[in-house]
């Protein structure tokens, strides 16, 4: 949306097996944004992740660039290629390369041809628009069968705010966030400290709880950009506005989690396990064991994949919060 100051686009790098496939996604904020990220816990980490971590060290960014088809991981020149991709995007956008977060997903150990990236960079930049999240969501897909996106509107300080996200992930997804990329954006204003806390808290009960097949991977991250263009009074303490922001964030991330699980490779069932009043740590162990057992059980052969049952989610949420910041109702 234009008023959120976030543009997106997906372009084609002339995929050899599918000339029409979008495989270069770009997300750009109209102004420099606060940024936070959570990264895979895998011991081996891809070059794009390491470069992004370095670029986000100051807590700011203005663009996210992601290619699909090649993970740029376990390559001798991986860091150089990742930095060069940031430079290419920065040159096209008039930014500093340090303001670009970079991600890659696909085949590991295969050299990434920078000339192909360079040749395909101009169209996504030229075609940036405020309603192109679907193009960006499509561009980051690998074995996914559907693009995954969700968005909400919510109110802070009398201002209408927006928060949306796109995700990719279909296989090798296991608790503690692996083999998924998630890019979130919002025009709400919130301090960098509370943004980091909001994201790190939310992923514990969302992306860190998704399991498809028990594998982990190298390039996976959740990145959020916050540009404050909604003009609400910045959230600087854990008050009722912070609770509303957390609810908006969780609404989007939970929907993306459901889409990731529903689009799991070969998935015909999706199970959601609630901890209830159990101790959290014990519940996580039990849920993990039950999820692993579920995969071993014989499943009906003719049941359609759940991935067909998750449409794009765009909704408006209204959150009631009492004086203590406790969410009392939602719609």
Cite the active site residues: 179
Residue 8 token pair: 């997106």
CA dist 158 and 327 (Å) reads 17
Spatial CB neighbours of 88, under 8 Å, sequence gap ≥ 6: 114, 117, 118, 121
Q: Return the exposure string of 27-56: e unless at least 16 CB atoms fall within 10 Å of the residue's CB, then b.
A: bbbeebbbbbbbbbebeebbbbbbbbeebb
CA dist 44 and 194 (Å) reads 29
Q: What is the CA radius of gyration of the chain?
A: 19
Residue 293 backbone phi and psi in degrees, to 5: -65, -40
Point out which residues pair with 7 in neighbouring strands: 28
Residue 101 backbone phi and psi in degrees, to 5: -90, 140
Beta-carbon neighbour count of residue 153 at 10 Å? 17
Pairing label, strands 159-168, 181-186: antiparallel
Contact 143, 170 (CB under 8 A): yes
Residue 103 backbone phi and psi in degrees, to 5: -145, 150
């Amino acid at each position: 949306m234009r008023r959120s100051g976030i543009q997106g686009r997906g372009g084609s790098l002339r995929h050899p097996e599918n000339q029409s496939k979008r495989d270069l996604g770009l997300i750009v904020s109209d102004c420099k944004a606060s940024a936070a990220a959570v990264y895979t816990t895998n011991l081996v980490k891809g070059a794009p992740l390491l470069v992004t971590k370095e670029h986000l060290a100051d807590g700011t960014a203005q663009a996210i660039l992601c290619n699909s088809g090649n993970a740029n991981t376990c390559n001798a020149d991986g860091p150089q290629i990742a930095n060069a991709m940031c430079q290419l995007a920065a040159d096209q956008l008039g930014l500093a390369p340090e303001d670009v977060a970079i991600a890659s997903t696909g085949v590991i150990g295969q050299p990434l041809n920078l000339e192909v990236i360079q040749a395909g960079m101009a169209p996504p930049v030229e075609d940036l628009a405020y309603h192109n999240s679907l193009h960006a969501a499509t561009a980051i897909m690998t074995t996914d069968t559907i693009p995954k996106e969700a968005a909400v509107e919510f109110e802070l300080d009398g201002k209408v705010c927006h928060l949306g996200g796109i995700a990719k992930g279909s296989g090798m997804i296991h608790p503690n966030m692996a083999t998924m990329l998630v890019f979130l954006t919002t025009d709400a204003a919130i301090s960098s400290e509370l943004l980091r806390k909001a994201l790190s808290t939310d992923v514990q009960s969302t992306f860190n709880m998704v399991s498809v097949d028990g594998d982990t991977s190298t390039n996976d991250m959740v990145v959020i950009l916050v540009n404050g263009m909604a003009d609400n009074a910045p959230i600087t303490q854990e008050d009722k506005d912070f609770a509303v922001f957390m609810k908006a964030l969780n609404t989007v991330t939970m929907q993306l989690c459901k889409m990731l699980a529903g689009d799991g490779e070969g998935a015909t069932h999706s199970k959601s396990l609630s901890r209830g009043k159990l101790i959290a740590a014990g519940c996580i162990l039990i849920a993990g064991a039950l999820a692993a057992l579920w995969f071993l059980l014989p499943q009906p052969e003719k049941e359609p994949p759940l991935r067909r049952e998750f449409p794009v989610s765009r909704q408006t949420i209204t959150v009631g919060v009492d004086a203590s910041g406790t969410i009392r109702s939602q719609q």
